């Protein structure tokens, strides 16, 4: 992970600053934790004595729970703070929050914020490692890592797979982190979305292919990665209606016909059934990797926590 | 009356007449009494106070036509006295203040309040602009006639564009009765809404909402149709895009009464400054691409852009030390205006007199104010600067109450040594803060 600020602590703020070798090392570590998590005794002591604070400025159940489980399974003391309902409402700034947290001496902060760049801003003002659990429309690195782990375990590799990412690319941090990670690991990435949800020039910028027709975009795809649609954005401003969106870009068996017959279906959750994905498709146990993703999420987050706190264990 | 004053041995630069030669300048009773190579040390009589300015440049004091004073309403960001001190340190002798304050300058009494507060300081001349529409809300016309008599040098809704085409048509039409200058913030609000930076690959990568380049040119093209219909004098504030430059160039070729302006930060910086979510690079209009920046420099050098104005927009720390999307727009610029512009000259991009014209005589003529000239009888509003002196911009060195400079840590070449307003020294390098 890229060093940011003074050593020894390092942050995980995005996929962009990671070296390819670091990504692979994280995935390898996570692989081991998958096996651990399937045992009845899931507890390790790697983070014993360390304090992990999950600081969520934006509501989230599954990501927060996943980080909480990850920390607890490694032996950390985990505290959840939902800032959306307390300090912000009282006018506390992000930097005030950072100062307050410093005084509590946490070892790892897991931060989600509704503004792009806000996690990096916070990281500049705290004296511990920070994991970005999603900042605005910028990055969501642990989601991309867990997606990569899911693909690697199911398909055996990532290089040369054709991966179609479909939906609201423009506002999606999941899309940005996945585009960076999957192209780095050698996948052929396609973006499928209406032009209003796909910033111009992404094909050149990221070396990906862009499709506005979903059937064409899914043709021959090994992986179909659906994005969650933010329904508040969909009322006549970016697309005319949910029904039209589902008609053109919702994942159905019919549209899937052009993809490879064993193509894997992924979704970061929570799903809008009947909006971006047909419920029956999502539930097909042979094709859908959606529950695998949830499982891999805990393992990947354990790996991130492990890597970011190694310097604390090495210290006398 | 104070003693006559002579500045001697300096490079006299007058963009209006094209004068560029070494000589002296004599100030008597606050006005320029004489100037030229014939004025030499020791020959002016004992009553004249002589200042040796050998090696320095003497130009008309700068006229900055786009400044937010902070008063009334945002005194924690800037006050008239701090803004005036900063302006003096920047070699500015006249400035035009934007009227979208709180309350806004849409009433003669408010305008007189600002002018009176500034006059008391006996320093840089402050010329208020008045709102084009009441409350700068873009709906009803402001009392242009009364405001003009109260001293308004131009009409504008400041940082807000007049969005309604019919209101703009009527405002331009009404302004022609007074030959008043109408200044527009060129941005189609519906296209810019929610945007935080220039729309493009950098915004895509950072996950920030973009402001498309077309938001600017669309507003200018619309307005130019209205200018054509009315004949009003129309000034486009802070151009940022190559497309807008091209539209202004064509309008000028067609003889429309249009003028245009650019800020130093748009001349020197691009969207790349936003990297790392640097909120001090969040300005309105946003910093654009290198191609846009090149087009702006070219347009300034050829005269398509008439004026460089600081677009001084003070913001306190609380407005900037927040996530990018939440941060306020704007940078301070009074104290770096001349130095930033001189960089273009040092880089060989523009002729010195042409550059100074955009900072002095052109804005003065557009605003219809005295100053901006080295001519016998003109007010002795002057700036003496060392064109080669290197200095580094630091927040601590700024006199503005707000420190949101886009040039923190940057080394410039060219520094104001002395500023005179009506023959009185209002700034001298080495006095007080530097």
Query: pTM of the prediction?
Result: 0.93
Cα gap A83→B47, rounded to integer Å: 71
Mean pLDDT along residues B273-287: 97
pLDDT for A189-248, tens place per residue?
Answer: 999 999 999 999 999 999 999 999 999 999 999 999 999 987 766 656 898 888 899 999
Structure ipTM: 0.88
Kindly state the tokens that stand for A43: 């507890």
Q: Is A99 in CB contact (< 8 Å) with chain B?
A: no
- Per CB-CB distance under 8 Å, the chain A contacts of B199 are 199
User: Does B207 contact A135 at a Cβ distance shorter than 8 Å?
Assistant: yes
Half-sphere exposure in the Cβ direction for A5 (13 Å, CA): 17
| pLDDT, position A3 | 43
- Residue A8, pLDDT score: 57
Residue B134 carries which DSSP code? G
Q: Does the pLDDT of residue A316 top 50, yes or no? A: no
Q: Is the pLDDT of residue B28 over 50?
A: yes
pLDDT of residue B373: 97
Distance (Å) from the C-alpha of residue A43 to the closest C-alpha of chain B? 37
CB B7 within 8 A of CB B380: no
State the helix-helix crossing angle for A173-184 and A20-37, rounded to 10 degrees. 110
Burial class (CB in 10 A: 0-12, 13-18, 19+), A35: exposed
B275 touching chain A per CB within 8 A? no
- Are B277 and A117 an interchain contact pair (Cβ–Cβ within 8 Å)? yes
- Measured between alpha carbons, how far is B107 from B143 in angstroms, rounded to an integer? 7
The beta strand positions in chain A, using DSSP E, are 51-56, 77-82, 108-113, 129-135, 162-166, 188-192, 209-211, 223-226, 264-266
- Angle, nearest 10°, between helix axes B80-89 and B108-120? 60
pLDDT band for A315, please (50, 70, 90 cuts). Answer: low
Given 3-state DSSP classes, what are the helix, strand and coil percentages for chain B, each rounded to the nearest 5?
35, 25, 45
Distance CA B305, CA B344 (A): 14
Q: Is-catalytic flag, B52?
A: no
| Distance from chain centroid for Cα A16 | 13
Q: Cβ separation of A116 and B206 shorter than 8 Å?
A: yes
Burial of A212 from C-beta contacts in 10 A (0-12 / 13-18 / 19+): middle
Q: Which domains does chain B have, with CATH numbers?
A: 61-367 (3.20.20.140)
Q: How confident is the model at residue A90 (pLDDT cuts 50, 70, 90)?
A: low
Is there a contact between B276 and A135 if contact means CB atoms under 8 Å apart? Answer: no
Q: Residue A314: is its pLDDT beyond 90?
A: no
Hey, is the C-beta of B407 within 8 angstroms of any chain A C-beta? Answer: no
Instruction: Tell me if A116 and B207 make a contact (CB, 8 A cut-off).
Output: yes
Asked if the C-beta of A140 comes within 8 angstroms of chain B's C-beta atoms, the answer is no
Per-residue pLDDT, averaged over A19-29, amounts to 96
* Mean pLDDT of the region B241-245: 98
Give tens-digit pLDDT for B4-25.
Answer: 999 999 999 999 999 999 999 9
Residue among B379, B296, B352 at smallest CA distance from B94: B379
**Mean pLDDT calculated for residue range B225-229:** 98
Quote the pLDDT of residue B96: 98
Please identify among residues 205-264 of chain B the ones whose CB lies closer than 8 Å to any CB of chain A.
205-210
């Amino acid at each position: 992970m890229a060093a940011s600020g003074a050593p020894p602590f390092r942050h995980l703020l995005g996929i962009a600053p990671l070296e390819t070798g670091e990504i692979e090392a994280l995935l390898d570590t996570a692989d081991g934790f998958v096996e651990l998590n399937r045992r009845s005794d899931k507890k390790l002591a790697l983070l014993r004595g360390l304090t992990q604070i999950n600081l969520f400025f934006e509501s989230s159940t599954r990501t927060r729970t996943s980080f909480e489980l990850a920390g607890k399974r490694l032996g950390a003391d985990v505290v959840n703070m939902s800032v959306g309902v307390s300090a912000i409402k009282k006018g506390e700034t992000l930097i005030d929050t950072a100062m307050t947290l410093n005084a509590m001496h946490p070892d790892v902060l897991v931060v989600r914020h509704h503004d792009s760049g806000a996690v990096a801003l916070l990281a500049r003002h705290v004296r511990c490692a920070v994991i970005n659990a999603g900042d605005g429309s910028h990055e969501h690195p642990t989601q991309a890592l867990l997606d990569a782990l899911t693909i690697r375990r199911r398909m055996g590799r990532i290089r040369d797979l054709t991966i179609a990412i479909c939906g609201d690319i423009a506002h999606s941090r999941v899309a940005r982190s996945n585009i960076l990670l999957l192209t780095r690991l050698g996948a052929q990435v396609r973006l499928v979305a209406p032009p209003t949800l796909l910033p111009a020039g992404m094909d050149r910028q990221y070396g990906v292919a862009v499709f506005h027709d979903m059937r064409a975009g899914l043709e021959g795809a090994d992986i179909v990665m659906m994005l969650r649609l933010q329904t508040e954005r969909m009322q006549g401003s970016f697309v005319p209606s949910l029904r039209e969106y589902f008609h053109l870009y919702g994942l159905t068996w019919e549209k899937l016909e052009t993809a490879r017959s064993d193509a894997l279906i992924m979704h970061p959750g929570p799903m809008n059934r009947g909006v971006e994905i047909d419920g029956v498709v999502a539930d097909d146990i042979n094709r859908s990797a959606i529950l695998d993703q949830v499982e891999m999420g805990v393992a990947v987050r354990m790996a991130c926590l492990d890597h970011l706190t190694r310097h604390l264990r090495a210290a006398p | 009356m104070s003693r006559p004053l002579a500045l001697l041995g300096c490079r006299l630069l007058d963009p209006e007449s094209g004068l560029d030669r070494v000589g002296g300048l004599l100030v008597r009773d606050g006005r320029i009494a004489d100037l030229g190579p014939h004025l030499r040390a020791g020959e002016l009589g004992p009553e004249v106070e002589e200042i040796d300015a050998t090696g320095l440049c003497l130009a008309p004091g700068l006229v900055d036509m786009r400044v937010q004073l902070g008063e009334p309403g945002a005194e924690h960001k800037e006050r008239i006295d701090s803004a005036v001190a900063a302006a003096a340190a920047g070699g500015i002798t006249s400035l035009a203040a934007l009227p979208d304050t709180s309350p806004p300058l849409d009433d003669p009494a408010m305008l007189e309040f600002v002018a009176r507060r500034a006059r008391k300081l006996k320093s840089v001349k402050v010329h208020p602009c008045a709102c084009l529409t009441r409350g700068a809300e873009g709906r009803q016309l402001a009392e242009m006639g009364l405001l003009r008599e109260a001293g308004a040098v131009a009409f504008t809704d400041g940082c807000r564009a007049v969005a309604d085409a019919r209101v703009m048509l009527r405002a331009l039409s009404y302004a022609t009765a007074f030959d008043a200058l109408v200044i527009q913030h060129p941005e189609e609000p519906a296209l810019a809404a929610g945007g935080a930076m220039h729309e493009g690959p950098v915004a895509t990568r950072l996950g920030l909402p973009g402001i498309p380049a077309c938001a600017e040119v669309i507003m200018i093209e619309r307005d130019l149709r209205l200018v054509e219909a009315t004949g009003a004098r129309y000034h486009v504030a802070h151009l940022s895009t190559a497309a807008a430059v091209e539209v202004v160039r064509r309008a000028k070729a067609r003889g429309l009464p249009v003028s245009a302006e650019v800020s130093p930060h748009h001349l020197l910086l691009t969207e790349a400054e936003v990297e790392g979510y640097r909120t001090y690079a969040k300005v309105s209009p946003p910093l654009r691409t290198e191609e846009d920046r090149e087009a702006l420099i070219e347009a300034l050098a050829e005269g398509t852009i008439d004026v460089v104005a600081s677009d001084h927009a003070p913001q306190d720390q609380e407005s900037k030390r927040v996530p990018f999307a939440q941060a306020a727009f704007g940078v301070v610029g009074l104290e770096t205006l001349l130095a930033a512009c001189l960089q273009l000259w040092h880089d060989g991009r523009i002729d010195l007199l042409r550059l100074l014209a955009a900072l002095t005589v052109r804005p003065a003529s557009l605003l219809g104010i005295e100053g901006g000239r080295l001519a016998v009888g003109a007010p002795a509003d002057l700036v003496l600067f060392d064109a080669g002196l290197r200095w580094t911009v630091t927040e601590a060195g700024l006199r503005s109450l707000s420190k949101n400079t886009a040039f923190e840590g940057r080394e410039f070449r060219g520094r104001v040594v002395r500023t005179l307003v009506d023959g009185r020294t209002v700034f001298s390098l080495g006095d007080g803060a530097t």
